[in-house]
Chains A and B, each alone.
Chain A
Amino acid sequence: MSLDTKIKNLELDLFSMGELVIKTLAEAVKALETRDVELAEVVKKKDGEVDKAYLKIDKDWFELMATEQPVAKDLRLATSILQASLHLERLGDLSVYLCKTTKEISNLPIPESLHKIIVEMGYMVIDMSSEAMESLKSKDIELALATANKDKEINNLYNKMLNEVSNISGNKDLYTGLFRLITCVRTLERGGDHAVDICELTAFLVSGEFREF
């Protein structure tokens, strides 16, 4: 197999992993939004496929480095693919976490306003991850930059959640639910960061220079 084919295959594997991760994330957010514990259970089990996709990319990248020693654009592309796959794997873990949260809060009294925030953050992470992968696929720095800028909105929602929680008082069940929500929004906030990191990889791939967005 030629170097071109090996790298093309890595790229194809990455983008199909991206589709899988984003589809799973969308289902996980849907389960959280509709408080559908059964759907959450089904979605959670899909993480095995995500891990499998990640391990394949990791193995193929390792073999590519050992046998082809790519340089220049090839090296930047192969490295970006490996790093992006790691961020996707973490976004896969986020789906699992959302599914767990769906189950944990199913019988707890959660204020509607907070539930709305967490769902809204979930949809924003899906949107950002999807655009980040698109920017990598089309090597579009402008899209990468615009997508990374959306992280501010996620951070705003995260802070809004923390502010609202501190004004709530109630019983043990309520506090247990709030605790679950806070750790969940923290994980969602990290999800936005993973999308930003993928956007940075787009810029690195195109320009050869690494910069923090």
Chain B
Amino acid sequence: MEGVKLNMENKTNSKIDLDSVFSVKNVSVNYGDFVAVKNVSMEMYKNKITAFIGPSGCGKSTLIRSFNRMNDLVPSAKVSGEILYQGINLYDQNVDPVQVRRRIGMVFQKPNPFPKSIKENIAFGLRVNNMTDNLDDRIEKALTQAALWDEVKKDLDKNALDLSGGQQQRLCIARTIAVEPDTILMDEPCSALDPVATKKIEDLMQLLVNEFSILIVTHNMHQASRVSDYCAFFTTKATEDGRRTGELVEYNDTKTMFTNPIQSLTEEYISGRFG
């Protein structure tokens, strides 16, 4: 199957200017004999925010989890095809998954800080990665980058679980960026947050994208339209055995996706007329 190409509105120059971060070629992810998502081909770009949208079960979370080998932790999961990260095949035998996860950090739906102090939450990953020189500076830098420093600088020994949900999520972002990744994967990072905390995370993403490449899975289409530069729409299709498999329908720049999408399925989904 041909990969879904990014429509660049004939702006060939801008395509040349964009550095690819992920180059995904015919990727399918199985759980046992169940195909969760199949034949995805797409390019994602450096210092851009790419959003994955689509109904539940369309494989967007499964796919994003295969981008930092989180699916290795699921025994029945099998990734086929090729995922190149800055030209390196992520699933090559010589590639260390721990290093992959340091370079490609992840933030989850539910804020999941360790039940330890704010400071320890950041320091933990730094110790694991032998990045303990200038520890206090690194902690301050990560919390500042995550727009949390001013709120917690006097309470660094406070238990992270005493923070609000929004603060906990920004702490998880700080924990992720402390180990100096290049890319941040975000799997519905705001779905457990109220609109004020959501706004803070969205504003933060606009700052972080200057230094990192960001991929976000979101159920909130307005969030995708607000924060992302590129947007991929996935859907599920029934297979012969009655199960459903995720497929990439359209991948385009966000402005085009929300004003003049090419595929009628995309149009139906984003305008709430799906199914």
Cβ–Cβ contact A75 & B259, under 8 A: yes
Cβ–Cβ contact B272 & A208, under 8 A: no
Main SS of chain A's interface residues?
helix
Cβ–Cβ contact B259 & A70, under 8 A: no
Chain A residue total in the interface (Cβ 8 A): 12
Cβ–Cβ contact A72 & B272, under 8 A: no
B221 cross-chain contacts in A, Cβ below 8 A: 71
Main SS of chain B's interface residues?
helix
Query: A76 at the A/B interface (Cβ < 8 Å)?
Result: yes
A208 CA to B272 CA in the complex, in Å?
Answer: 19
Query: A12 at the A/B interface (Cβ < 8 Å)?
Result: no
Cβ–Cβ contact A72 & B261, under 8 A: yes
Given contacts A3-B272, A71-B270, contact A76 B260 (CB under 8 A): yes
Cβ–Cβ contact A208 & B271, under 8 A: no
A70 CA to B222 CA in the complex, in Å?
Answer: 10
Given contacts A71-B271, A72-B270, A73-B271, contact A208 B222 (CB under 8 A): no
Query: B114 at the A/B interface (Cβ < 8 Å)?
Result: no
Q: Which residue of A lies closest to B272 (CB)?
A: A3
Query: B71 at the A/B interface (Cβ < 8 Å)?
Result: no
A124 CA to B267 CA in the complex, in Å?
Answer: 38
B225 cross-chain contacts in A, Cβ below 8 A: 71
A71 CA to B254 CA in the complex, in Å?
Answer: 12
B272 cross-chain contacts in A, Cβ below 8 A: 3
Shortest CB-to-CB span from A1 to chain B, Å, is 14
In residues 231-275 of chain B, which contact A (Cβ within 8 Å)?
258-261, 266-267, 270-272
Shortest CB-to-CB span from A84 to chain B, Å, is 18
A75 cross-chain contacts in B, Cβ below 8 A: 258-259
A207 CA to B256 CA in the complex, in Å?
Answer: 12
Query: A60 at the A/B interface (Cβ < 8 Å)?
Result: no
A208 CA to B266 CA in the complex, in Å?
Answer: 15
